[in-house]
Amino acid sequence: MSRVSSSNSPPKKKRRASKKKSANASASVIKIRGVRQNNLKNVDLDLPLGKLNVITGPSGSGKSSLAFQTLYAEGQRRYIETFSPYTRQFFDRMDKPQVDAIHGIPPAIAIEQSNKVKTTRSTVGTITEINDYLKLFFPRVAEATCPECQQTVRPDTPTSIAQRLPDCFTGQSVLITFGIPVGNKAKPSEFFEFLQSQGYLRIHIFGKTWRTDETFPNKTLPAVVDVIQDRIKIPASSKRPSARLLEALESAFHLGKGKLSLHPAESGSNNSKPMSFSRNWHCADCDLDLHAPTPNLFTFNNPLGACPECRGFGRVIGIDLDRALPDPSLSIREGVVKAFQGNRHQECQVELELYAGIRGIDINAPFEELLKADQKWILQGEHPGDAEKAWSESSWYGVRGFFNWLESRTYRMHVRVFLSRFRSYTKCNVCEGTRTGCSQLPGVRKNTARNLAAPHR
């Protein structure tokens, strides 16, 4: 018997190995058997997983019937069946496809062709609806920077404050205070009676702690009085903040309308500077409020997020320097600036040649061969954006300054007709074509606004 069993054992191992090999092979493909959906007539097909499968054929051959009404419908149906009966009622279920069997199909998603109506505001982000998801994502990961002190600004919570305290006030006692505004005509005695009626007996002003049930020596109070919510000693090391500390911070936030301050209880402590915190997007050191990141702030299709200059289009109708200098192969003497040619503005051509010679620019060289700095000087002048200053200093005001000067005289008909010859849609100078107005808000960096606008293009 031992010989028979030993002789039969190797074939059993081979069968097991062959079964395991066939199972792995079947798991790497989607087996479709007997598809009879619409125009399909009992089709058998194996589609490899992890590869790009393309279905081609003439119109009416059953491409959509196989891809959407068979594969996608069955994959969605099996995925939805994994949920509870209560959850299934919120899904749109498709009809079961007419097929004998489908094996190895994973959960499926479908991206169908759609004809979107394009407008002047349409971009890749709006047509594919990616913009709708991005404007929900950006507010959650946004970080603001104070334009005054350049520190990162984020809303504080009692937990985040409690985690920072051991690093600042280790082993010291701190006063948790919240500010209350004081009226101009309020007397200290009346104000102290009000605080006593609310259950507060101590305040912190002028760097000292005063009791409200005692006589105050001064006749006036500061505009904002810090009321002491609690006095707590910060341990050197603690895994979890105490419930008393969190409760005091929460109460100070509530009574201080989202703001609180921490003062060292001992005057001779190492850290004698008070620390301010805010529950909102507020720089406590500079007392500057920043705009809270909301979804509408990150889309140019909303007035809040659109550039105020171009209204979210990214382009404005303005002077196109390419029309003012249509042929850069010409030199200054040959009249590269088309707007300066003619009797009306001939003096501008003479001044350009005069100031270019003083600067040392070759007026006979083609404009496109000049240095970038010299080209910028010709276009922008000595003082970019301030033609009046250049004119008063008897220096070159630039081609741009010339057109800005004409813009102030558009009440004349012939000036409007002249400017219309050089107008076209140009990139907005405020948002630089990004369409968003984030860079105009305090706390938003200009390069950050440009990066956020990249998916909209």
Q: What is the pLDDT of residues 168-200, one digit of tens each?
A: 787 788 889 998 888 877 888 888 888 888 888
pLDDT at 4 over 50: no
Instruction: Give the CATH H-level superfamily of domain 21-103.
Output: P-loop containing nucleotide triphosphate hydrolases (3.40.50.300)
Better-predicted residue by pLDDT, 165 or 272: 165
Candidates 308, 297, 309, 356; CA nearest to 332 is 356
The percentage of the chain sitting over the pLDDT mark of 90, rounded to a whole number, equals: 8
Residue corresponding to tokens 């049930």: 213
Span 292-309, average pLDDT:
85
Q: Parse the chain into domains and list their residue ranges.
A: 21-103, 156-279, 315-427
Residue 427's DSSP bridge partners are 315
Q: What is the residue-averaged pLDDT of the chain?
A: 81
pLDDT digits (tens, 9 = 90+) for 10-65: 444 445 544 444 445 556 888 999 999 888 888 898 999 888 889 898 888 888 88
- Terminal CA-CA length for the chain: 80
**Backbone dihedral angles phi then psi of residue 72, each to the nearest 5 degrees:** -65, -40
Confidence band of 267 (pLDDT split at 50, 70, 90): low
Q: Name the band, by pLDDT with cuts 50, 70 and 90, for residue 389.
A: confident
Confidence of residue 439 (pLDDT cuts 50, 70, 90): low
Q: How many residues does the chain have?
A: 457
What phi, psi does 430 have (nearest 5°)? Answer: -80, -55
What CA–CA distance (Å, rounded) separates 69 from 37? 8
Return the CATH fold of 315-427: Helicase, Ruva Protein; domain 3 (1.10.8)
Q: Of 222, 212, 204, 220, which Cα lies nearest the Cα of 276?
A: 204
Return the pLDDT at 330.
Answer: 92
Alpha-carbon distance 442 to 330, whole Å? 44
| CATH code given to domain 156-279 | 3.30.190.20
194/357 Cα distance (integer angstroms) = 78
Q: Which two tokens mark 60?
A: 């009416």
What pLDDT is attached to residue 455?
47
Under the banding of pLDDT at 50, 70 and 90, the label for residue 366 is very high
Structure tokens that stand for 452 in this block: 């956020």
Give the mean model confidence (pLDDT) for residues 320-333.
89
- β-pair partners for 35: 43, 99
Q: Are 65 and 89 in contact (CB under 8 A)?
A: no
Q: Looking at residues 216-232, what average pLDDT do you find?
A: 86
